[in-house]
Structure 1
């Protein structure tokens, strides 16, 4: 018998006084929180997207990314702390999205073809009113008070298949299912009379009259596929129909050219091994996508059979090049014996095309490139590191593919191959437009075609490899909104489908995910890098949340966890690129920004752990100070620069990558997972916060134990690895086959070979497979002991030493079974009657064992609880035995949702190092007086109620029953008071402790789920009253149980942060003159503006007046609060309206004051007003004497300077008229000079052509 059992026996038989009565030992833990007004439901935030991603768009001017979902929600992402969500009205699936950068409009089209237009520069007054009403009435998920204003709504007359919007003019083109194009005025918010008919009817009619075998029937309606504006002439549209493309002039309202790809007999086409009857027949290639070249002289057209044709707009008879992803000139007929016999088979259609251009190299970039080349000329070339990978991907490095263009292709891959890829062709710069490009000379045209064809031969091809089938993508331009958002991009967002190698779950969020990469790709390896994404986008697709847990950690531990976190703009797509908006703290419940530092000190740091579908475990900082503290700005106040939550990427771990690591291939315990990776799914994660260890349990029964890289264990493993290298291959460290006598048991598989000891994150230690199936409950202590149960089987393992401490319920003799007596035999007999339901570790005492020790409480379904006590032997190995048991009277069919051991004041009994050391000291010298003062209680909460047991295994102290089944329960501490909070689907129950004599019920308002397959939500509650819920559809939401108390909500967001946009490519000098003339308030220069001419053509002669809209948001007006009416002196800033900032978060805001105005001493006035002398009494000066004098001076000046101001206005009008007259003369001379220049240039070109022709005959 061990020494600890002897000590326990001596303590039991020794005579000691009994504990005082229960009423003398227990006090009231709840205090003032018996008041029901303290509790209220509060929705804090939704961290994941509702439904699946259905559309996305990017606005480069203000730097916003918009994402639409199938639930009808629109999500807007800007700076790291800027993130808002608003719903379409009605809430239908978002089908199309686009930005209009020059007027800050967001256009959304849902599946019912309702067009909603939002103005990002104006805040929606309806949303702010609804937000306040919902907060007051505690209704369902509140609307965002900072949502943009919906300024227009329209329902299309037919299904919208595509749309086109440009920043040059103010009209939106809608491609409908009947093949027509409808125009919508975005300036007047109504439908314009201009309409483009279905231009492909005539083409199909020609085919039918020509008796073409593949001609469609007369019942067929040609669909509109895409609409794109000419990059340098907004008057020209390229319309893509099913059969081909049409170049259309808006001003003339007629088709300029028609482009249709037909493969001649004998042309192999994309499918060279097709039947000979098909190859030797004329074939039509239906069009699926189009893309303009940046120069506007060419365009690319994708086809349904996987072919890609590139056309010159001046030649509609034959394309410049027809190719596939890996072959060129597939439209040229060849002999039957020359046909390729190794064809890739049928191909997917070309779904989408973009043709990107880049700005010319400036002097600064040229000098930087020359300097880098000069400094690196004498050194050997080095590979790009991860630190400069992002910077090397910019157009400055490698001159953005030698300042050429990049054609990005989605689709076109063979059907038999994976479609999880995206092709990017690096093309040379296009040829410059010469004098002979417009000539009718055959030789000149042939030279121009040859130059254009040479510019279409790729110099390099990059393939973006994604994790799923590519379904859509979006380029991220730096600033230029023209060229349809394809000019000078720095990144690319790829919308991918589900990954077949992952487990399949019934949730919409798993259907689509977003991946971000750098763009343009580099020619060297690696060709591209991964970019960051906002947290909600990371939690879609592969990142779907399967579960979460949250913990409140002390400040010292919090610093240890986050000390290695990266410093920078976490939450942005790319830290060095501009993202719009800013956010300020938003305090509710009567609190102001002056109270923010106090709230931040009161709230303890908390960390959130989530596990995902792709086998990753991520940690996030969800501390309350993230919503309270920021950096002070002199004009905008306190600004939040970090998102909520803050990701901790250095703590992210991937169990799938660890198991599939090449060095782990062949391990017997991991072979089933490596052969069937789609079965690898995380079931639960537990973290030992004090020991900084983690356990990841899989649904297959495997358990991965991980430790921090900077911990003591990592240093020991590093020393072992060094000794392994020095001793040679005969060392037995890390063996997992059990052949060595000193090696670990077969249940353990060491993973120290894949550890990165230099990393500060989690490092894999070992893989446990100690149960025949998946574990139904787990428990992890800070001592390294891990307990798992399946049915009636229990295993306790020491993960650090890779040893089995307890094995019970396996049908054979348990450890220490020879030492049990009659009482222990009865305990074993009672244990065999029910399955294990919960496990928890604690350092505590029990009723029959008053010595402090590390114990494991094993609870079963029938309410029977067994207490296992552990001791550490002289060999530093853990040993355990049954020491006590108790039976709880639990309701039938009640599921355990929470169980923990608490102390005298309600604090949770932990298993940290200090508690274990205290227990070891008491075991050597038992203190009876200490055991009488320090006693513990067992709290067990089920779905139907809760019970509190005295001295863990003693009598029942109190119990409570809940009317609704709950999902989780936890002891919550607020302002020193403790309550038991239980969360149900529609209610929140708050019960007083420890008597359970008062229970409050708070009604919940959960948004309805749109999932087809609903599941029970998972709820985890933290110590301060916040709880995280993984609802049906794997949506992660954050709630609060104390919404009526002062707290911080989602930040106040300011969206309107415009930047100067470059002019349109085709604007030229006319665009500058038109913009100046428009600023002066005249239409004299409108004749030179193509956009104005296009607007006039599209809007018609009966264009209505512009609607009256509220003014755009301006932060300066909101940052100055109105003075109180009943105050004689400067008021204090105790209350600040929403959206205003009064000062930094650390000190109260300064007193209210009038904005400073210029002095009136230098103004002209017919009546001089003597200055008001200051009063002699200093109290009068404090009461605002200067304000009265200042007001009188301002009134006198205003009343007596009307005539002089009118005279000044007349002079300004005369100056304006003179300036306009001069401008008109200048524009007239400019137009005359342009005509003369064109005439002279044309004559010179004709003379040169005639001279060359004559020379050819001589």
Structure 2
């Protein structure tokens, strides 16, 4: 303690004096992939994997199940797939090197063997029915790789299109084009693994793997005069054209397929007929392979239609159909859009009729490969019932369908989600997830019965209509795992803060299961057993919330729970993601930006960009203040739960606009309250828990009583202020710091509501808010006190502390309640202010100076300051851009220690009052956060180590391979292909592996006995039921059984030892008898 002006101040930093009292450490690091180049889904295990341009792979599963894998030399990921049959993750990089990871091991997936190299691979295809990968090379050759034996198999396929062209070229003028022989994609027949489609640029080859021959060759030629995808204005309209093949997809029945071409048209072929396609169409026209002489004459001089190539196709059937041929299907198309400036970008989905023809009345003609009746039935199943366009904010680069449960049909069967890879800012690529198929495809055809309510209103009808439209037409945006979601929505800033228990319970109340999250349940995450004691202490930590700001207006402000309590489990896997999303608290700006009141009052910059600059959350009242770069400030508050229609409130203040009438989503818990705008940029902002908001615009200050809302102070517009500004420079009077408190002053011993206004010059003004006499209204007292503090005060760098214990004195409900009673005479406070060059401590806000300190020139720039508390002791910590933290005692501001911070960029660091900090690194090209580091100043018994991941707990059991279905009714089963029979995956592995294929090695068993493996198998079944057993309990049980086995062995050895001794004793006895006999009888 020490005495100052007859006031004795306690030492607040008694237990923080020595360096061992501090332990700076990074607890967790989070990465957000910004350049996603490939994705893979394992529907049986419930896993999602993505690969990036930096050679990093990320695997996501159930709660806290995440893994990071790195490719040597950081080569970009080109292809990525799961092998369901071997439970592996298979990757092919840009240098055509194959990488394989085993997912059946506990912990980080094990990389298997050395990377296999191929010569300029163009595609990779895997099947859940066997363990071989087909690798297509630029040379046209198809190679095979044995994923089980980890070697290149001897089975090879030559360039079949080159052989086809050699046989079919009739004249020297028809010389093959070299590019036509490059394979684009290989697709395994969905119902016969013995058949392989190889799409070359010139056409498609159907090959029989067993017979090693070409069964069919499909070549699409546009006749002279046919428009194709380029239209009648094409320069070569009067010549035969061969648009290059770019994509292929097989109908789920397996009898016909679609081929995409470089001119944007799609050709549909019957497998039995290689002579003529069933149909050729673009996204907006049919029969584009036919010549229309009238159109040719009219449109010949018209400009050519610039259309995208068909980049990708996927043909899906759904489980709601009992038809073995697939029922109604969805054809998903990437590309084919008009390349006109301003055209929408995205993915097209066509809903097609079921293919279920009856039996033909007459036999197939002698010279026809396909019955005309069946041909007509196929064509009828290609006429779209409806279509839908997934409009993306930027160019769509790829898409991936997420099946519900089956890996068959190329992973396109019964998809529930579509992932779309899109371009983002700064040449990045991110993923977006949408509900699939579009709900409009599945709307019942039954007529809707209109019900007349006994009492209703236009508002009710409108809300009901909007709800119906949202439910039936537009696919819901689904939430990806947090790292991918942050990349997709473009996280720009992040802040960590804590809440008290009551505030936390109110804040997270109502957060149930996330119904609109991508369903990933794979694997299990187990806490480190060595951290059991630390985990038990986690329940005593303060709850923490992560608040993030995003580019996406639909998710502009998001909240995540980062409380340590989420990681606490008892003999079970971790049940929560960390951090845990709080989706019902997400603030969506879209409806706000279309409101007429906002459009009328807000600035054009706000309407065009609506970019959040900062956000503040009141810890008790939970009111959220959102500050925008254009100067607007919007206050959100928790919904009251009232179901009555919102009404537009009238506010007399010009600066305020009521937003209570703005309709928000039903599952959103925040609703807009009011808008504050004065036409200037915000320089400082502060919100209190007792209903007051202060916003500064350079030298202008506005204070709002949010109970009205009502402006109770406008300062900066009157002539007196303008005359004052002539005596001081504008920069000197600019306000850069605002702080609310309920405290006394040097000449006012009564606790009152105070606003501390910090100016750039170093002068701080103390404004007092008082209640009107005989009224419930509040006003700002005319008497304003001034005090000299520090120049260039930092935002958030002003604190008011209790003079006895050093506890912070905020504008809270408790302190407001105390201010209603006479303040005890021994109540004092300390004002702590920190600026760009140093810090000061003053007694009772406006009293004399207690202490001061300067940061020094060698420390760099101080970016953030915070008063932290540990075990009742408090200290001021300044964080610099030199990756350093400086600790000072309170209230005398003596330098305690300096610490190096394990963060890549400390200029973005924020810290809560318990010493936990968050720092992030921003990608320079996009401005989006690419990595976040969560750390603490007091790493004592903290349990934040990465959990142990067990993917094998949901290891998939692959369902049987789908069998061939008849072309017509079941009586026509013989109409299936005439050129071979289906085979099993095991038979195909034997065929591709060759006679010298080594016996596949069984997966390595985890340490422990057989009982351990049985316990693992049992836990798989239990995981399916939602009751997973504890990994460490199993290991402990296994160790116990191992000990029992050793005990049994010990008993056997002891028994053997006793037997051996008995045998030796018996031998000695008989030898002695023989010796005695020989001696006695003289033998």
Global fold match (TM > 0.5): yes
Aligned to 2:523: 581
Deviation of the 1:290 alpha carbon:
0.6
C-alpha separation between the residues in 1 aligned to 2:1055 and 2:317? 61
* CA distance 1:339–1:664, change in 2 (3 Å): farther
Matched, 1:914 2:814: yes
CA distance in 1, matches of 2:291, 2:623: 67
Structure 2 residue 940 is the aligned partner of structure 1 residue 1021 = no
Match of 2:797 in 1: 898
- For residues 1075-1123 of structure 1, give each alpha carbon's deviation from its aligned partner in whole angstroms, at most 9, with x where no partner exists: xxxxxxxxxxxx9954344334433444456568643588974999xxx
Counterpart residue number, 2:688 = 781
Equivalences for 1:165-564 in 2 at 5 Å? 165-202=126-163, 210=171, 222-275=181-234, 278-337=236-295, 345-359=305-319, 403-416=327-340, 417-429=343-355, 431=357, 442=368, 445-498=371-424, 506=426, 511-519=429-437, 521=439, 522-524=441-443, 525-526=472-473, 528-541=475-488, 543-564=489-510
Give 1:305 deviation, angstroms: 1.1
**Residue of 607, 612, 626 corresponding to 2:566:** 626
826-835 or 179-188, larger mean C-alpha shift: 826-835
* Kept in 1: contact 2:911–2:917 (CA 8 A): yes
3-state SS of the aligned residue for 2:58? strand
Of 823, 844, 856, 1:951 maps to 844
For residue 885 of structure 1, what is the aligned residue in structure 2? 786
- 1:82 shift after superposition: 1.8
Quote the offset at 1:319 in angstroms: 0.9
- The answer as to whether partners of 2:28 and 2:944 remain within 8 angstroms in 1 is no
Note if contact 1:225-1:242 (Cα within 8 Å) is conserved in structure 2. yes
Is the counterpart of residue 765 in structure 1 residue 697 in structure 2? no
Matched, 1:609 2:505: no
Q: CA deviation at 1:572?
A: 4.5
Structure 1 window deviating more from structure 2 (20-29 vs 108-117): it is 20-29
* Deviation for aligned residue 1:474: 1.3
Distance 2:1037 2:802 in 1: 49
Report deviation, 1:1030.
3.2
Of the structure 1 ranges 1043-1052 and 551-560, higher mean CA displacement relative to structure 2 is found in 1043-1052
Residues 221/274 of structure 1: CA separation in 2 closer, same or farther (3 Å cut)? closer
Query: What SS does structure 1 have at the residue aligned with 2:74?
Result: coil
Deviation of the 1:456 alpha carbon: 2.4
| Residue 22 of structure 1: how far off its partner (Å) | 7.0
CA distance 1:528–1:1065, shift in 2 (3 Å): same
| Distance change >3 Å, CA 216–CA 39, structure 1 → 2 | farther
Q: Describe how 1:1035-1050 pairs up with structure 2 within 5 A.
A: 1035=930, 1036-1050=932-946
Deviation at 1:748, TM superposition (A): 1.6
CA distance in 1, matches of 2:363, 2:536: 69
Q: Shift in Å at residue 33 of structure 1?
A: 3.7
Go from structure 1 to structure 2 and tell me whether the alpha carbon gap of 1:169 and 1:1154 turns closer, same or farther (over 3 Å shift).
closer
Pairwise CA distance, 1:855: 1.4
SS at 1:560 equivalent:
helix
What does the per-residue CA deviation read over 1:182-218, in whole Å, with 9 as the maximum and x for residues that have no partner?
33221222333443333344566689874669x7766
Q: Is 2:645 aligned against 1:687?
A: no
Give CA deviations for 1:486-526 in whole Å, capped at 9, x if unaligned.
Answer: 1222222222334xxxxxx65x66x4231231337533233
Does structure 2 conserve the Cα–Cα contact (< 8 Å) formed by 1:495 and 1:515?
A: no
| Counterpart residue number, 1:29 | 12
SS of residue in 2 equivalent to 1:596: helix
Q: How many angstroms does 1:756 deviate by?
A: 5.8
1:625 shift after superposition: 0.3
Note the alpha carbon deviations across 1:763-822, whole angstroms, 9 max, x for none.
21211112x33212211122332222233333323344343333334462359x9xxxxx
The 1:569/1:495 distance shift into structure 2, 3 A limit, reads: same
Contact (CA 8 Å) 1:462, 1:527: kept in 2 or not? no
Paired with 1:888 and 1:475, the residues of 2 have a C-alpha distance of 61
Shift of 1:571: 8.4
Match of 1:121 among 100, 104, 122: 104
- Judging changes above 3 Å, is the alpha-carbon distance between structure 1 residues 400 and 544 closer, same or farther for their aligned structure 2 residues? farther
5+ residue gaps, structure 2: 444-471, 924-928, 966-980, 1016-1028, 1060-1083
Give the CA deviation at 1:104.
0.7
How far the C-alpha of 1:101 sits from its partner, in A, is 0.5
Q: Output the aligned Cα RMSD.
A: 4.1
| Distance change >3 Å, CA 885–CA 88, structure 1 → 2 | farther
CA deviation after TM superposition for structure 1 residue 647, in Å: 1.8
List per-residue Cα deviations over 1:893-944 (Å, max 9, x = no partner).
Answer: 886662222222222211122222322434xxxx4xx24x322222233455
Measure, in 1, the Cα distance between the counterparts of 2:155 and 2:721: 86
State the 1:309 CA deviation.
0.8
Q: Which residue of 2 aligns with 1:856?
A: 755
| CA deviation profile, 1:826-882 (whole Å, cap 9, x unmatched) | 999698734322221111223343332211112223322222222222440322445
Instruction: Give the drift of 1:638.
Output: 2.2
Q: Secondary structure, in 3 states, of the residue corresponding to 2:193?
A: strand
DSSP-derived class of the 2:85 partner? helix
**Displacement after TM superposition at 1:35 (Å):** 4.0
Deviations 1:12-39 (A, max 9, x none): xxxxxxx963797333333444443453
SS in 2 for 1:910: coil
- Say if 1:97 and 1:106, in contact at 8 Å, map to a contact too: yes
Deviation at 1:163, TM superposition (A): 0.8
The alignment partner of 2:373 has SS state of helix
Name the stretch that deviates more: 908-917 or 106-115: 106-115
CA shift, 1:357, in A, is: 2.6
Indicate the structure with greater strand content: 2
How far 1:452 sits from its partner (Å)?
Answer: 2.5
Count of aligned pairs: 981
CA shift for structure 1 position 1199: 11
Q: Distance in 2 between matches of 1:997 and 1:207?
A: 91
Equivalent residue for 2:962? Answer: 1065
Gaps of 5+ in 1: 1-18, 124-145, 363-398, 499-504, 722-732, 736-742, 818-824, 1008-1014, 1069-1086, 1121-1137, 1144-1148, 1161-1186, 1201-1258
Change (3 A) 1:1088 1:444: closer
> Per the alignment, do residues 300 and 871 of structure 1 end up closer, same or farther by CA in structure 2, a change over 3 Å counting?
same
**Could you give the per-residue CA deviations for residues 731-756 of structure 1, whole angstroms, max 9, x where no partner exists?**
xx634xxxxxxx42222222222156
Alpha-carbon deviations, 1:942-986, whole Å to 9, x = none? 455544333333304242536243432222223333333444453
Name the SS for the 1:643 alignment partner: coil
CA distance in 2, matches of 1:720, 1:568: 28
1:44 and 1:1050 in contact (8 A); partners too: no
Relative to structure 1, the CA distance from residue 1154 to residue 157 in structure 2 (aligned partners, 3 Å threshold; closer, same or farther) is closer
1:659 is aligned to 593
Is 1:746 the counterpart of 2:676? The answer is no
Q: Which deviates more, 548-557 or 198-207?
A: 198-207
Matched, 1:806 2:713: yes
Q: TM-score, normalised by structure 2?
A: 0.82
Q: Please, which moves more after superposition, 784-793 or 903-912?
A: 784-793
